[in-house]
Structure 1
Amino acid sequence: MKGVWGLAIAAGASLARAQSSSSSALTAAATTVAATAASGAPSLFPYERVQLTEGVLAELCAALKNDSLADLFAFGSSSNSTSADSTVEKRSNVKHSCKVMPGDAGWPSERVWDLFDILVGGNLIKAVPLASYCYPEWPNYNADKCATITADWLTSNLHMADPTSIMLPLYEGRTCMPSPYSYTDSCEQGGYPTYAVNISTVAEIQLAVNFARNLNLRLVVKNTGHDFNGKASGKGGLTVWTHYLKDKEYYPTFTAANGYVGPAAKFGSGIQVWEAYEFGKSIGKTFVGGEAVTVGMGGGYTAGGGHSPLSSMYGMAADQVLAMEVVLADGTFITADSKENADVFWMLRGGGGSTIGVVTSLTVKAWPQLETTTVTFNFTVSDTPSADAFWAAIESYLENFETFVDAGTYGYYYIGADSDEVGTEYAGDHAYYFRMESFVAPGKTVAQTEALLAPWFKVLDNLNVTYTPWYNHADNFHDAWSAAFPQEYVGTDLVKTASRLLPRKVFQSTELLKQTWEAYRDAVEQGLFIAGFHISGTGIAVDPPTDNAVLPAWRDTLTHVIVGSEWNFTSSWDVVETLSLFVTEWMDVLREIAPDSGAYMSEGDLLEPNLQESFYGSNYERLYALKQEYDPTGLFFALTAVGAEDWEVQTTDPLPYSWNTNGRLCPKST
């Protein structure tokens, strides 16, 4: 073989040999630095021991006999690189230029992509939109596969098992969905990344990070794609897909750098909530994770703070983290805890995903096995004497929020107006419904839960509301949770949401509580729906940490309120834009009720006014400074992430810039 291709084969063999010959040294390093939990840091997983090193890069350079090609994979300037005057140094220090896209002169040639594929062990994927199998103009058209994809389109499993698909395609640009879910009869690549690496080792992440940074490519990180704002998408991007990093290990006694001594577990960043909860049951422990089955523990969920059915007991997901392993923007692989790389540790626990690195694993606290009761029920306006009685029942729920949260419980509910009890069909619809997806009472028996709910239910009885609560109890959290939280429907582009955290003082003020209740009713009357939670970010069983970047407003929250608008599958972009703006503007009502609070970034509004203050609060100045220190070129980006204000997505849809990820990523226009 000749040319780059032949050199690629040699380079791939060189990398394989280097990794193989380095394996004993890497194992020794792991043994020396993090041999046991008692050392204050967990042992590296096998996939974390396979690392890119300067020695490996030197062998690669020798095999290629081409410094320019070898430099594409070199570490950034803040690493231990010794080539201070190299091409990669110059590239790494170029700040804020438009990311290279397919068709640009700087886009890698097919042979360079071939070289990259060999270096990542054949794990490079040339991505296509998942629904492209349904379109005859695409070369991969397959009617049988299309039928399967269409039948499963609304399930989370389909999208999380694809390297670039996301669960809410509105935020990649609605560019390729199967009929009947598509507003158009065409399929385009849109905001779905162009390539993805199915990660199996740390070395592959390092190679991808270095390659993207040195060539100024748009880098995207995907775990499951379960995200409300499209973080796992980006036009022309290269995706680091960590979904299959599924290792886990339990430490009966773990001594953490922050002084914690007790049970803990280390999870690969691809572990999802259902896997963590199952693991907890198997060892007689409980872990703090999301309510949704498909949420990834080590992705944007924990990085964004991470609220949980257990938050009113044990706090946020970010509060549980004792250590983490991370590949930084310069390609280096580190362990971060409260003493080692403490700034990174602080930032990645609440400071948002897609900021300064790719988490490969995290070590979290394990709590005792916890008996749990869940309660599910609903009622509609037809189950009440009148609309006023319906809304009085809602008011009574709000009046009990403080009591419920202070008992360590969690409630996930919907309020709207639709005969199908989904969303709100149209403004002025009076088919009101209330649906308690699940009231979760950790540590409580059925009898204790009944007693806690009795004051609210007494009001419902006095109002002649008909409801039938279903109580489910288990001696462990997993079994109670799994019965109460089935997999959610995803895959549609029909909803735009905004959110607000309402603090305790709102519910201790007669006037503010009345305003909140009136706001709920007004939202539904105007065609919106509410998805809400009674919840706190300060667990009753623990003291909240003071050394992480969780939005401070979470610590005094009693409810996280999501308000949304809907449209049809065939709605035009004009309708999407109009209704999106309406949701953002309506939320001023709740912002005025709680002006000093904020919003949960992972379920927030892309158009949120004062986004940095709302999502990050008083932490933002420090977060932004760390972003510039650890990622000066802006390799990591998301529309709601730290530093997003420096960039714009030059959206190709008929929308304002940065309304989705379907466009070139460039420094913000002045």
Structure 2
Amino acid sequence: MKGLSAILSVALLAAPSLQHAAMLPPNPDKVLTPNSSNAPAGCKLLASDRGFPTNETVVKELPKAVRKQWGTLGPDWTIKATSVKDVQDAIKFAKTHNIRLSVITTGHDFHGRNNGRSGLRLDLSGMVEPIVFAPSWKEGDVLTPPATTACPAGNGSEMAMGPSLKPKKYRFFRRHGPGDEEEGEEEAEAPPASGEGSAGECAKLIRRSLLKKRHGPGEEGAETDAYNVITPVPGQQAVARVSAAIVHEVFYLAADKSNLFVMGAQHGGVSAIGGWMQGGGHNPFAPDYGMQVDQVVEMEVVTADGKFQKVSESKNPDLFWALRGGGGSTFGIVTAATVKVHPTIPIAVGRFILNSTSPKLYDSLAHFLQVGPDLRDKYGVMGYFYHMPKAFQSSLHMPGKFATLENAKAAFEPLVDDMFKMSGGTVRPQVQYTTYKTYAEWYAALQGTEEMEEAGEKFLTYYDGSDGSVPSQSQAMENPLQIVPFAMKSPQNPSRRSLHVRDLSKRDEEMEMYAMPMSRTYLDSRLVSAQDIKAIPLAQLSAALRTSFVPTVQGIAMRGFLYGGGKQAAPKADAMGLNPAWRTSTYHLIMNAVPGDARHDYDISALRRIFPRAGAYVNEAAPQTTDWKTAFWGSNYAKLETLKKRFDPDNVFFCTPCVGADMWTYDDERICRNPRYPSPAGTAAPQTLPNMQSKVGIASLPGVKGVPNALAPIIEAFMKNGTLPKTMPDFHAGNGLNEADMMAGGMGFVQAGAAGGGNMGGMDMGEGEGQMGGMEGMDMGAESEAGHSHDGKRARSLATSLW
């Protein structure tokens, strides 16, 4: 029962009744009454405002859009894009109807910018295309993947079913026929239509493959490779074209087949070209290769006017400049990019943990920070380290020519001796040395791979949803309804959820999976240069570090990254929109605690005082930073803001903290033009926390309260005494929980039929039967729980549980 206990404990954290300060799920949100309010002038529309698009309008203009869970926090509608046209349609819809547009790919966003409480969410997780590698690239070269349907799959004939933040395996099948070629707007032609297929479509394709149905080369339905393999040419710069939904782990393992590696994030479940790249793309080998924005040679982007274009140093260079460091969801939607890839390298790693209960431990941390730049320059030491109130942990590595055991020992043994002597600890740590032949081998040891998870060698981390085999922690926090059935199905091995296609039921085939946002996580960070950190006396630096670790904050820790110099520092400060602080920094220091919407009572003001010139990384920083424009973009902010006004004059892409965020005000999801723009110095970017005292936002508008989690009592009982009901509710057939309970728990997304007759809090829920508090319910019987009707007469429920 250990696995079941672990899974249910995650779900338990989602129960609103527990009021866990650090790990609350997104709270239930008010269901607004349509046509009951008027939006103030200059404001985006909310669901209660007159003029907000009706369900019939949404279904007509965005047939793929789905309604959010009843009474839960999140955008009113979500559209999962599988083509450039889908992206264009979503942007046009949000702009035409004056509603908020949120963008999500993998859901990995500490600020929660991808989880607006109104409007439309554009989900890019279906933008999956085969990766195209090439031994060289020059301006004008076109790397075009074949038109394909991508099917999430397990090993062999299995089909991965379920939402995920972790990489999925994909099997690609040729797609042909009318409409496959999309015409781009003026500047460029979009690639052939490709993307993730529906579960039903994929089940048919995989079944045909299992039956070994013959296809000619390039024939529709023929299986094709997820990537091509090339032979790198010495002296030539290899590249790869990658689509928006491809995550780092998939990219890493594909590149390895050509003896190449990719500049990428520590966490393999992050999109390779999303907000991580557009915010700069910091990576553990930046001193040798530069930031990820230094690797990009071309981007494919849809701008706020709906135009698809390819941008580079010679094609729309101003937009290319802004997209490289200006931040995601700000200047346009990047659907694909071509980036440099490099010959794979050996890597040596030195791991140790230094434990101490003495305050002197901070002296050893200060010492490490001051000698780190020298270790980098002399021994090639770079990468990750972690500091907790009573421990320091190293996962530092040495790449390329430095990847030898002799070099590693020369770097680490004196370092550990000195740190131990200064720490007040009682046991000198022993360093574990490991060498890896390739980048992919190093990554697998650091983070694990999908195959390792399937073999039971790696359990879920905080961010992971594994390979689609079990909901991620953040998804469980969104809605525990989706997690209990798995645990009941396979309590000893909850991480498996791939299905043989022969076992797929009709309702499985009609499922759609959507990217889910991670819980908001408050943290703070500084980008500190070697010059500044060496100029501070060790005792003063130690005291500032110790002050930042507030003992009352649960789970507080510092994540540190040793970078700097070399190719990271080579480009000029104004070469692109990237914060110039990245070019001069040696350390990226992040102070964080466990996730949650509640603010944490820690800060790094002491570090700000001793490092007044330090900037911060926008994706891993405090949203309440008062000098946010300078801290996140430095001297490049003024140009970025000018370009924001040029490329997005109507602010279709609103997010905060983002470039131009203070052009708007935010009050409990009421987003309005800021009459006092620009905000005065010392003012934070708009804060997006709920405001129950709002006079204009959701709290003040007509509607009914959000709904609690119907499974909370079951989960709490299990955690208290280990008991579960003899039979678990069947969330599909409507057994066990009545309609009110299902609505209370949140049965998933609902796509409203154009002719649907029911209405719940103003939301068309299809042919509902029965009443619930004066509002018509939704038919959740065996025939309609996942019914897909092309004539629009029946609602489609995209339930988040699978069993």
TM-score, length of structure 2 as denominator length: 0.56
Structure showing greater relative contact order (alpha-carbon pairs closer than 8 Å, 6 or more residues apart): 2
Residues 256, 657 of structure 1: CA spacing in aligned structure 2 closer, same or farther, 3 A cutoff?
Answer: closer
Residue of structure 1 aligned with 2:620, choices 599, 603, 615: 603
Contact 1:536–1:555 at 8 Å: present in 2 too?
Answer: no
CA displacement, residues 79-134 of structure 1 (integer Å, 9 cap, x when unaligned): xxxxxxxxxxxxxxxx992111212211111211111233xxxx322232xxxxxx
Residue of structure 1 aligned with 2:523, choices 497, 501, 508: 497
Mapped to 1, the partners of 2:342 and 2:520 lie a distance apart of 38
Residues 261, 239 of structure 1: CA spacing in aligned structure 2 closer, same or farther, 3 A cutoff?
Answer: farther
Mapped to 1, the partners of 2:461 and 2:41 lie a distance apart of 38
Contact 1:325–1:334 at 8 Å: present in 2 too?
Answer: yes
Residues 483, 594 of structure 1: CA spacing in aligned structure 2 closer, same or farther, 3 A cutoff?
Answer: same
Q: Who is 1:628 aligned against?
A: 645
Q: Does 1:466 align with 2:491?
A: no
Q: Who is 2:544 aligned against?
A: 519
Mapped to 1, the partners of 2:539 and 2:569 lie a distance apart of 31
CA displacement, residues 263-316 of structure 1 (integer Å, 9 cap, x when unaligned): 111110111111111112111111111001211111110110121112222121
Q: Does 1:381 align with 2:352?
A: no
Residues 620, 495 of structure 1: CA spacing in aligned structure 2 closer, same or farther, 3 A cutoff?
Answer: closer
SS for the counterpart of 2:135 is: strand
- Matched to 2:293, the amino acid is A
Q: Does 1:556 align with 2:529?
A: no
Residues 514, 271 of structure 1: CA spacing in aligned structure 2 closer, same or farther, 3 A cutoff?
Answer: farther
Residue of structure 2 aligned with 1:543, choices 570, 574, 579: 570
Ranges in structure 1 where 5+ consecutive residues have no aligned partner: 1-94, 129-137, 139-187, 418-431
Q: Who is 1:639 aligned against?
A: 656
- Matched to 1:521, the amino acid is R
Q: Does 1:272 align with 2:247?
A: yes
Contact 2:135–2:237 at 8 Å: present in 1 too?
Answer: yes
Residues 638, 405 of structure 1: CA spacing in aligned structure 2 closer, same or farther, 3 A cutoff?
Answer: farther
Q: How does 1:311-322 map to 2 (within 5 A)?
A: 311-322=286-297
Q: Does 1:126 align with 2:67?
A: yes
In the comparison of the two structures, how many residue pairs are matched? 476
1:526 offset after TM fit, Å? Answer: 4.9
Mapped to 2, the partners of 1:566 and 1:334 lie a distance apart of 40
1:534 offset after TM fit, Å? Answer: 3.4
Residue of structure 2 aligned with 1:479, choices 437, 441, 445: 441
Mapped to 1, the partners of 2:362 and 2:115 lie a distance apart of 40
Contact 1:322–1:365 at 8 Å: present in 2 too?
Answer: yes
- Matched to 2:115, the amino acid is S
Contact 1:305–1:316 at 8 Å: present in 2 too?
Answer: yes
Root-mean-square deviation (Å): 2.9
When structure 1 is superposed on structure 2, of 205-214 and 518-527 the one drifting more is 518-527
Q: Who is 2:387 aligned against?
A: 415
SS for the counterpart of 2:309 is: strand
Q: Who is 1:403 aligned against?
A: 374
TM-score, length of structure 1 as denominator length: 0.66
Ranges in structure 2 where 5+ consecutive residues have no aligned partner: 1-39, 142-234, 449-459, 464-473, 478-518, 671-683, 698-803
Mapped to 1, the partners of 2:386 and 2:274 lie a distance apart of 26
Mapped to 2, the partners of 1:564 and 1:626 lie a distance apart of 32
SS for the counterpart of 1:360 is: strand
Q: Who is 1:507 aligned against?
A: 533
Mapped to 1, the partners of 2:566 and 2:98 lie a distance apart of 43
SS for the counterpart of 1:254 is: coil
Residue of structure 2 aligned with 1:593, choices 590, 610, 624: 610
Q: How does 1:37-186 map to 2 (within 5 A)?
A: 97-118=42-63, 123-128=64-69
Mapped to 1, the partners of 2:568 and 2:274 lie a distance apart of 25
Q: Who is 1:147 aligned against?
A: none
SS for the counterpart of 1:233 is: coil
Mapped to 1, the partners of 2:81 and 2:428 lie a distance apart of 52
Contact 1:373–1:441 at 8 Å: present in 2 too?
Answer: yes
1:250 offset after TM fit, Å? Answer: 0.2
Q: Who is 1:439 aligned against?
A: 396
- Matched to 1:635, the amino acid is V
| Structure with the higher helix share, 1 or 2 | 1
Q: Who is 1:352 aligned against?
A: 327
Mapped to 1, the partners of 2:570 and 2:140 lie a distance apart of 17
- Matched to 2:110, the amino acid is F
SS for the counterpart of 1:102 is: coil
Contact 1:313–1:408 at 8 Å: present in 2 too?
Answer: no
- Matched to 1:102, the amino acid is A
Mapped to 1, the partners of 2:94 and 2:536 lie a distance apart of 54
1:633 offset after TM fit, Å? Answer: 0.8
Contact 2:545–2:607 at 8 Å: present in 1 too?
Answer: no
Residues 461, 601 of structure 1: CA spacing in aligned structure 2 closer, same or farther, 3 A cutoff?
Answer: closer
Contact 1:221–1:239 at 8 Å: present in 2 too?
Answer: yes
SS for the counterpart of 1:563 is: strand
Contact 1:649–1:657 at 8 Å: present in 2 too?
Answer: no
CA displacement, residues 490-514 of structure 1 (integer Å, 9 cap, x when unaligned): 4376952111111121233253x54
SS for the counterpart of 1:274 is: helix
Q: How does 1:187-202 map to 2 (within 5 A)?
A: 188-190=71-73, 192-202=74-84
Q: Who is 1:251 aligned against?
A: 134
1:222 offset after TM fit, Å? Answer: 0.5
Contact 2:68–2:76 at 8 Å: present in 1 too?
Answer: yes
CA displacement, residues 320-363 of structure 1 (integer Å, 9 cap, x when unaligned): 11100000000000000001010110000101111121000011
Q: Percent identity?
A: 27
- Matched to 1:400, the amino acid is V
Residues 333, 408 of structure 1: CA spacing in aligned structure 2 closer, same or farther, 3 A cutoff?
Answer: farther
- Matched to 2:560, the amino acid is F
- Matched to 1:272, the amino acid is V
